[in-house]
């Protein structure tokens, strides 16, 4: 039995600046993932530090903080069967140089330090990240017209 799952996606400042918002959101919509929350926000230093807490102390942490705070980002919640894994696969490898063509990073990015997108790596991470960017009443429950055609 398939169970709808939530994941968190963030389009990083380079995606916004390079005009890739529509293209990337389109891929998720066409795959059948439902956008249940979406907004343009700035990531403050303290939010960035909490968000990327697992990388604190690493050599790339400071550059990562400057990057993520360099401009507005698009935060969203996507919902669908196996949403966490589906989005991770669509994103491609963390290092864009190694990401397969056909993936978001493989099609729109060249380096690890400007890899256009973040997606939760587990259901637990999704919960944590969603709560950092959205209040419960900013996440909308609704039925998409094609939903009955997305599974048997
Ligand atoms: P992902 O974004 O694929 O979940 P991650 O959680 O390991 O990857 O790292 C978060 C971000 O930090 C990643 O999107 C880019 C940056 N990063 C990770 N490893 C890096 C490295 N070795 N050098 C430079 N930046 C790195
Ligand atoms: Mg990660």
Q: What percent of the chain has pLDDT over 70?
A: 99
- State if residue 40 touches ligand 1 by the CB under 6 angstroms criterion: no
Q: How far is the centre of ligand 1, averaged over its atoms, from the C-alpha of 94 (Å)?
A: 6
- State if residue 60 touches ligand 1 by the CB under 6 angstroms criterion: yes
Q: Is the pLDDT of residue 88 over 70?
A: yes
Q: Which pTM was predicted?
A: 0.97
Phi, psi dihedral angles at 36 (to 5 degrees): -110, -10
Residue 34 in contact with residue 139, Cβ under 8 Å?
Answer: no
pLDDT band of residue 118 (cuts 50, 70, 90) is very high
Tell me the two tokens of residue 91: 């994103």
* 96, 126, 149, 36: CA torsion to nearest 10: -100
4-150 under CATH 3.40.50.2000, yes or no: no
């Amino acid at each position: 039995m398939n169970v709808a799952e939530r994941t968190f996606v963030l389009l990083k400042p380079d995606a916004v600046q390079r005009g890739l918002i529509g293209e990337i959101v389109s891929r998720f919509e066409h795959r059948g993932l439902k956008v249940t929350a979406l907004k343009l926000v700035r990531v403050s230093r303290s939010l960035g530090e909490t968000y990327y807490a697992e990388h604190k102390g690493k050599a790339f942490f400071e550059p990562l903080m400057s990057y993520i705070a360099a401009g507005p980002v698009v935060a969203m919640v996507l919902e669908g069967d196996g949403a966490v894994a589906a989005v991770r696969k669509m994103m491609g490898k963390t290092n864009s140089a190694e990401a397969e063509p056909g993936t978001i990073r493989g099609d729109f990015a060249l380096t690890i330090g400007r890899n256009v997108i973040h997606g939760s790596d587990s259901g637990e991470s999704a919960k944590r990240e969603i709560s950092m960017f959205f209040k419960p009443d900013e996440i909308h429950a609704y039925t998409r017209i094609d939903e009955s055609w997305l599974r048997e």
